[in-house]
Structure 1
Amino acid sequence: MIHLERLPRSVLALGVPLLFFAIALWVMPIADTLQFDPDEGIELAKATLYGQGYQLYDPIWNDQPPLLTLLLSGWLKLFGPQIVAARLLVLGFATVLVGSFFNTLALILGPGFALLGTVGLWLTLDFLRLSVSVMQGLPALALVMLAIYLLMRVSFPRESGSAIGSKPRTIAPILWNNLGLIASGICFGLSLQIKLYTALLLPACFLHLAAGSSLQDWQQFKARRLRSGLVWLAACALTVLVIGQLTPSLPLDQVLGTHFDGASQVSLQREPSWLLLLMFLAQDLDYTLLAGVGVYLLFKQRPSWPLLPLVWLASVWMGLAYYQPLWYHYYPLISVPVVWLATYGLTQAFSFFRQKQWYRNFHWRTLKHPTVKGIAAGFLIFAIALTPVKLAVNAYLNHQFVAESKPKLEVIRQVRALPSPTRWLFTDLPIAAFYAGLNVPPELAVFSTKRIASGSLSDAELTRILQTYRPEQVLLGRYPKVQAALEPYLSQHYVKRYEKEKMTRYVLKSLK
């Protein structure tokens, strides 16, 4: 195994996430890509409007909690309305996730296996892309991972010296346990005020405290653990309530109307969710196979290891199995616990390779009677063989992002170059307004597929917005059906100035 124990703990604790930060900056074209995902424009439009004094939820339509919008708005005021600055903020959150993940695994398995597991997380599908995309999912998950690391610090015996459920001998461990629990609950509460889907991880964290971290703990109930779980849950709930009081309250009609509208769910996703979840597992099949070995070890050989990643995976699976639609950016909810479990499996693979002349054990005769170590070793070889493929796919996708950005950036330059002053830009590509330094009507900050499917952004509503704001320019290029529905009104009041690459730009006739 990699011998990292000799290095100072602080060097690894900070060095690994900083290394990830540097690699992501080097690999990902954050300055040359218009958008890694259309949701980037939505988040930037909301943050820009909020920074100019418009309030969330009314008039800014928004179906998400407010915290990332508030943070992003303040960040852009501090560093300027630049796409690189916004993506660096999200990359900072991703670095927190990576650092928390590494340090959590280091508590359980040591720094060598933790480093291998963390590198595996980097290589999961779309992880680097999501690490620089101005979206809510990864920042919310980063705070959850930080909360989990703090839980491990106070509950896993290897490091804490006084695990929850045992009787501390001194005042210092008691103080640390309580502060750690409260800090962890606060982090989880903050994550819920970024994106509500992290509520799926509440059972995993609460059971980790209330029932015990491992299979051995689960076999014996202790009231001290339950009290710790309730303290953590109270800190989490209080954080959510305080932020809810200090920020605009989240209207249930905007949330439920888009996220749980039955008609829109069916129209946006035809495959059953359980099948898509299986496809998620197949995306990184090498890690999924190793994770299977990790689950076996949890129940057969190492019942002292934390069950949290398995409970996490089960909670997410049950929560999403009947929810629609599932987007690709939900995948980290699955990939993080899978890689965690796969790292458990790695321990058996390395035990296999430590054997003298281990390669002889791959003879076809020995394959008739496989061992857990041999199976794990085979899965590890499979993972190593797939690594160049994953790197090549990431490089290809980055090339595509940059190539697709060039014609759209040219249109945006034309939008900026209009001699007449432009106050409003009506567009189904909110990222264009951010690049052009213009505002979209607050009701259009969230111009999304889900909102169109749910009916909250109907053709009549879009026409009303056009009539109310009389935007000087219109730029359409994402939803052809929307453009076709608006064409009669646009033809009457606007003139086309550009039509190419599936993008059409209109200018108000009075500005000709």
Structure 2
Amino acid sequence: MLRWKNILFQLLIIALFVGIVLLIRLQPITQTFEFDYDEGFNLMKAFLYSKGFALYTQIWNDQPPIFTVLLSHWLNIFGNSIFAARFLTLLFSALLIWCFYQIIRLTLGSLAALVATILLFTSWLYIRLSISVMIGIPSLALAMLSIYFLYLYKQNYRNLYLVLSGSCLALSLQTKLFTLYLIPLMLFDLLAFQSKFIEERKILKIQLKAISLWLISLVFIYILIGSQYQQFWNYEQFLGTHLNQPSDSRLENFNNLKYLNYMISQDYDYIFLAFIGIWAIFSKKQKNGLLPLTWLVTATFILLRHKPIWYHYYPLLAIPICWLGAYGFDLLRDFFIKKSHGNLNLMNLKKLTIPYVLILIMICLIIITPPNPRGSVPKNIELMQMVLKYKNSTQWIFTDNPIYGFYAGLRVPPEIAVMSYKRLNSGDLTSTKMLAVLQNYRPEQIILTRWTSQIKSDRHLMTYISDNYSKTYSNEQEIEEHYVLK
């Protein structure tokens, strides 16, 4: 009975988190046309998959399959609405928040866990990413669930938790590959743990057995899923576009140091608390703090090297920063507890001053930290109305922004379901391929909103469009255009 009460209480906490986000962000969830262009890509891939098109062989896809498949089934159950899709991401975010809280609670107690969770919830763009149809938060949620199972294993050494941990990280990698670097960090965490209840001569044997079982679970589930969706037979899609990114000096995202500094400047106050946490980890020899510390160092190094970096990578830093912040809070709390029970006349002046100085610096950083920018892709109502006007006579839409097709319930040719900057910049999607798509599918509508100038600069493409299509709409800047088949 106590176990079921605890489970129900934990579910209530998750529901409370979801309810809070819905309460403060219901209007953006339901009325924002598009938070990010990636939303359109993910929605259209899921929509096409639900129509029977296969990933990789038919639907061009440079990401792992799990989120697309799950989103497709989710929309089949709850309807093809933007609210349903964003609600799914919100549920993943609730799972992430819950796991984050539980992990810290196991090591530092409920109060430190609550403070760290509030920090993460209010970190730069976390709420916006929690309601965007993007794959970063789902991948990180599954990774945090994997770490939570790892911490449960270190408490009672049940092999089931190792299997669940490895399997969850495999699911995370099959959602988005950017959690790959957590593998060596979690292996190190397994190798470093010790227990006063186990003899020292036996601990190494237990550690090696745990590592083997965890790795076997991870590799088996990862390969099983990849084989199921023919992921490994499409190297150019899955890895080629990510590895073949020529530097573009015009784009700020290729200036790693500058853009990374912009991201962390949004949370200077949290970073300062994290530095206090690092001090606490070393001064108090808290081995459990090594995982968030190595996570932060590794993620920072990767983001300094990886080109380009995008704003939605920031949770890779925010999670360990807020996690370390829990250790910082715990140290400050200890300072004040000792002060309140000590003899002020005998206290060292330095010990008396340090916590107040740290709190003062923290307050100053909170004041100077800029508010979280909301931002969203602008919605063109007129363009959407044109798409709906010709919906009944349309089978296919050729577009560089497939969310228009999703809202209208119309298909985009699967070869161009993803017309991203990454794909164009790597040279994977050329004007020749676009022309072939137009000729093969003869889409009844063409919508251009993102790469209009690039497409219009190609003589062969525009000749074909001019000969076969009539322009029905163009905005003043001639960036957004709509064509119908003659």
Regarding TM over 0.5, the answer is yes
Any residues of structure 2 matched to 1:61-80 within 5 Å, and which?
61-80=60-79
Deviates more, 1:473-482 or 1:300-309: 300-309
Matches within 5 A, 1:291-330: 291-330=274-313
Structure 2: unaligned runs, 5 residues or longer? none
Alignment correspondent of 1:373: 355
Q: What displacement does 1:378 show?
A: 2.9
Is the Cα contact below 8 Å between 2:252 and 2:259 reproduced in 1? Answer: no
Query: 2:474 aligns to what?
Result: 499
Q: Secondary structure at the match of 1:438?
A: coil
| 3-state SS, counterpart of residue 54 of structure 2 | coil
How many Å separate the matches in 2 of 1:24 and 1:411?
Answer: 30
In structure 1, the partner of 2:243 is 260
Give the AA of the match of 1:283. Answer: Q
The farther-off stretch of 441-450 and 375-384 is 375-384
Q: Would the aligned equivalents of 2:90 and 2:131 in 1 still touch at CA under 8 Å?
A: yes
Q: Secondary structure at the match of 1:306?
A: helix
Query: Cα gap change, 1:303/1:192 in structure 2, threshold over 3 Å: closer, same or farther?
Result: same
When residues 460 and 304 of structure 1 are mapped into structure 2, their CA distance, relative to the original with a 3 A threshold, is closer
Give the direction of change, closer, same or farther, for the CA distance of 1:297–1:472 in structure 2 (3 Å limit): same
After superposing the two structures, state which structure 1 stretch, 342-351 or 198-207, moved more.
Answer: 342-351
2:188 to 183, 204, 207: 207
* Equivalent position of 1:18 in the other structure: 15
Q: CA deviation at 1:304?
A: 4.3
Q: Distance in 1 between matches of 2:432 and 2:194?
A: 54
The aligned runs of 1:124-273 (5 Å cut-off) are: 124-155=123-154, 160=155, 162=156, 174=157, 177-212=158-193, 222-250=204-232, 251-263=234-246, 271-273=254-256
Aligned residues: 466
1:265 offset after TM fit, Å? 6.6
| In structure 2, distance between residues paired with 1:340 and 1:118 | 8
CA change 1:39–1:288 in 2 (3 A) is same
Shift of 1:369: 8.3
- Which secondary structure does the structure 2 equivalent of 1:86 belong to? helix
Residue 81 of structure 1 aligns to a residue whose secondary structure is coil
Find the counterpart in structure 1 of residue 449 from structure 2. 477
TM superposition score normalised by structure 1: 0.84
**Partner SS state of residue 29, structure 2:** coil
For residue 487 of structure 1, the aligned residue among 449, 458, 462 is 462
How far apart are the structure 1 equivalents of 2:241 and 2:386?
34
Say whether residues 1:342 and 2:334 are aligned partners: no
After superposing the two structures, state which structure 1 stretch, 310-319 or 333-342, moved more: 310-319
Work out the CA distance in 1 between the residues paired with 2:391 and 2:184.
57
- The separation in 1 between residues aligned to 2:244 and 2:312, in whole angstroms, is 20
Q: Shift in Å at residue 504 of structure 1?
A: 0.8
- Quick one: structure 1 residues 419 and 289, their matched pair in 2 at CA, closer, same or farther if it must change by over 3 Å? closer
SS in 2 for 1:429: coil
Task: Give how far 1:508 is off.
Answer: 1.1
For 1:230 and 1:371, the matched residues in 2 are separated by 49
The structural deviation recorded for 1:139 is 0.4
- The offset of 1:357, in angstroms, is 12
- For 2:397 and 2:194, how far apart are their aligned partners in 1? 53
Q: Cα distance, 1:377 vs. partner?
A: 2.2
- Over residues 307-345 of structure 1, what are the superposed CA-to-partner deviations in whole Å (9 max), with x where a residue is unaligned? 110111222233333211111111111110011001110
Percent of residue pairs identical: 39
Deviation at 1:37, TM superposition (A): 0.5
Distance in 1 separating the partners of 2:107 and 2:277 = 13
Q: Does 1:421 align with 2:393?
A: yes
1:450-472 deviations in whole A, cap 9, x for unaligned?
A: 10111111112111211111110
Instruction: Write the deviation string for residues 381-407 of structure 1: whole angstroms up to 9, x where unpaired.
Output: 3465468x63xx45xx2xx549x32xx
Contact 1:297 1:345 in 2 (8 A): yes
> After the TM superposition, which of the residue ranges 134-143 and 348-357 deviates more from structure 2?
348-357
User: RMSD in angstroms over aligned alpha carbons?
Assistant: 2.9
Residue of structure 1 equivalent to 2:53: 54
